[in-house]
Structure 1
Amino acid sequence: MTRIMKRSFDEDTRIHLNKEEGGPPGYDNGDFLRKWALHEDSTAFKVELDSKLIGMYIVWIFPNNENMLGTIFIDPEYQNQGLGLKIWKHIEQKYPNAKVWRTETPGFSKRNHNFYVNKCGFSIVKILNPGDMLDESYVLEKRY
């Protein structure tokens, strides 16, 4: 799974920052997934297409139904085919009692902003570290 995550995050970094590699700490050596996908309060799901592993998502489901999407990623070979939206719709169907979904994404990742806001219906509610190309982050929410 780490190889897919690395390819996915590196592709985003290449497109938006014109760098060959980049992602959150541990995205490239398994530490990120060990920390968050195996976290006792999270639930991680692999994404398969025609029995081939192509991605993953991690969610936190809380008793108050204000949930967190920790990450969602797809191998670049399968991006831009509508699969991310299908995965998001699956998540919404799997957790129909959600009152709020929250997530966070890098400020530089315009593709992610488009995906979350224009395709999934999230709103940007806060910008952390505004103007810092590498540390800027968008906090998003979708309320029902």
Structure 2
Amino acid sequence: MMHSKDVTLMPVHPDERLAFRDQLKSAFTEAVVKEFGSQHGKPIPTNEDIWSTFQVKDTAIYHIFADGKPVGGAVLLLDKKRQHHSLEWFFIDSDHHNQGLGVAAWQAIEAAYPATKIWRTATPYFEKRNIHFYLNKCGFKIVEFYNRYHPDTTFPTDLSNYGPTDLYEYEFFMFEKVMDRSE
């Protein structure tokens, strides 16, 4: 159990992963529906996307609690050898937004992994709230912008026939935070 301010990170027990997946999926889908309406195409993220991160050997999956109540979650992929870690999934339930819980949760994650040299994460282009959060609240820098003109090579390279409700999963920013340990 790790604490930072009013936030506690609690590891997700393997028996809780299905419910955690559903909570994560709901939080992400809510943002897509808010931006594109209910006809937004396929579920984002897919069950397969989520489960694949759960299966990685060095994955840490956390519930985020505030005042003893669940308010969100985080999934981290840890490269313990290089200390380059990835924030794969991160969410605060929408009824707990604008309370500083995202920043407190991020601070708790950083405190839990003090030897980290680099953190990486990504967020869709349309997620202005997330972009602001990572840049202005957490100290990340944008290191890449994937889009139809600069596609991520793990996705289809011909995005010319994709419409706005399809591109949300292919247009995204990659962020990186290099941890300064000289303080």
TM-score (norm. length: structure 2): 0.68
Q: Quick check: 1:59 aligned with 2:38? A: no
CA distance in 2, matches of 1:18, 1:129: 18
Is the 1:46–1:55 contact (alpha carbons within 8 Å) kept by the matching residues of 2? yes
Picking from 174, 178, 181, the partner of 1:139 is 174
Letter in structure 2 aligned against 1:68: S
CA distance in 2, matches of 1:32, 1:55: 18
CA distance in 1, matches of 2:23, 2:94: 8
Specify whether residues 55 and 143 from structure 1 end up closer, same or farther in structure 2 by C-alpha distance, changes over 3 A only.
Answer: same
Letter in structure 2 aligned against 1:39: V
Quote how far apart the aligned CAs of 1:23 are: 2.0
Picking from 95, 106, 112, the partner of 1:77 is 95
Quote how far apart the aligned CAs of 1:143 are: 0.7
Unpaired segments of 5 or more residues in structure 1?
none
Partner of 1:12: 31
Picking from 53, 64, 67, the partner of 1:36 is 53
Letter in structure 2 aligned against 1:84: G
CA distance in 2, matches of 1:38, 1:77: 29
Q: Deviations over 1:102-135 (max 9, x none)?
A: 1111111111100000000000000112577422
Partner of 2:124: 106
Specify whether residues 7 and 24 from structure 1 end up closer, same or farther in structure 2 by C-alpha distance, changes over 3 A only.
Answer: closer
Is the 2:85–2:118 contact (alpha carbons within 8 Å) kept by the matching residues of 1? yes
Quote how far apart the aligned CAs of 1:94 are: 0.9
Specify whether residues 143 and 130 from structure 1 end up closer, same or farther in structure 2 by C-alpha distance, changes over 3 A only.
Answer: farther
Partner of 1:24: 45
Structure with bigger RCO (C-alpha 8 Å, 6+ apart): 2
Comparing 73-82 and 119-128, the one that deviates more: 73-82
Q: How many percent identity over aligned positions?
A: 32
Partner of 1:122: 140
Partner of 1:45: 62
- Structure 1 runs of 4+ off > 6 angstroms? none
Letter in structure 1 aligned against 2:84: E
Root-mean-square deviation (Å): 2.0
CA distance in 2, matches of 1:54, 1:123: 26
